[in-house]
Amino acid sequence: MKKINLAAALLPVVFAAGCATGPSAEQQAAMADDARKTAGSLIQQLGGELKKSMEANGPEGSIAVCKEKAPAIAASLSKSSGFDVKRVSPKNRNPKGVPDAWEAEAQAALEKRLAAGEKPETLDTWQVVKTSSGKEFRYAKALVTQPVCLTCHGANIADGVKAKLAAEYPDDKATGYGPGMVRGIVSIKRPL
Ligand code: HEC
């Protein structure tokens, strides 16, 4: 029987399938699907907590939900999904919510799509990018303002809410929004 060097024989296949060229279109679509589900779960969980708290405690009493529950839900989803999940915005409230270059570009692109008439529900984008330490899968989902968001992010915030926000977030940039604007993105990434 002729011996085949299996490793050598397979190497070009492996490279063609993944390593050299990055994940295939199908693999990318599957990762985007996963990321979309993870972002959806963050939005749903946080929205549920916020609604419950707004009804029970009003806006002033709900600032803590955004401050504590939002990062906690993101951390728990990061653990369960294997992605790194967070919320960022060029007009950030949380001092840690500053977008990196990819996130800023992604949000700008999503804003253009919204302005061109696309529905908020479908406003997401993804890309495989090269970094100094290898390749990374990146995903962004737009968070578009609804009327409730304006209680804490709008142009006419009630005095009590304003005072509490100023005390908790002295460098707050996340006000002055109207309805139907991109407040920020859910940003998801995973090294490949
Ligand atoms: C009760 C007040 C309140 C309401 C209502 C509210 N937010 Fe926020 N939002 C906050 C606070 C407080 C933070 C900062 C959270 C933190 O410390 O991580 C925040 C942070 C964010 C961030 C993260 C980026 C940043 O600026 O730090 C996004 C995105 C965001 N909110 C979007 C929304 C959207 C969209 C809605 C409506 C669905 C909404 N918010 C409703 C208070 C609120």
Residue 9: per-residue pLDDT = 46
- 143 within domain boundaries: yes
Residue 17: per-residue pLDDT = 42
Residue 22: per-residue pLDDT = 79
Cα separation, 30 vs 27, in Å, equals: 5
174 lines ligand 1 (CB under 6 A): yes
- 62 within domain boundaries: yes
Q: 3-state DSSP call for residue 187?
A: strand
- 30 within domain boundaries: yes
Instruction: Tell me, rounded to whole angstroms, the distance of Cα 85 from its chain centroid.
Output: 6
Q: Which two tokens stand for residue 28?
A: 């990318």
154 lines ligand 1 (CB under 6 A): no
To test the pocket of ligand 1, the residue of 43, 60, 92, 93 to mutate (highest count of ligand atoms within 8 Å of its CB) is 93
What is the layout of strands, in order, in the sheet containing 182-191? Answer: 84-88, 182-191, 134-144, 124-131
- 39 within domain boundaries: yes
To test the pocket of ligand 1, the residue of 66, 181, 186 to mutate (highest count of ligand atoms within 8 Å of its CB) is 66
What's 166's domain CATH number?
3.30.450
Cα separation, 173 vs 133, in Å, equals: 32
User: CB neighbours of 72 closer than 8 A, spacing ≥ 6?
Assistant: none
Average pLDDT across each block of 10 residues of the chain; the chain has 192 residues. List them in order.
49 42 88 96 96 96 94 96 96 97 98 98 96 94 97 97 97 98 98 92
Domain count, the chain: 1
- 155 within domain boundaries: yes
Residue 3: per-residue pLDDT = 54
- 5 within domain boundaries: no
Residue 5: per-residue pLDDT = 53
Task: Output the CA 49–ligand 1 centroid distance in Å.
Answer: 12
Closest ligand 1 atom to residue 63 Cα is 1
- 69 within domain boundaries: yes
Which range marks the domain in which residue 83 is found? 24-191
Instruction: Tell me, rounded to whole angstroms, the distance of Cα 97 from its chain centroid.
Output: 11
- 14 within domain boundaries: no
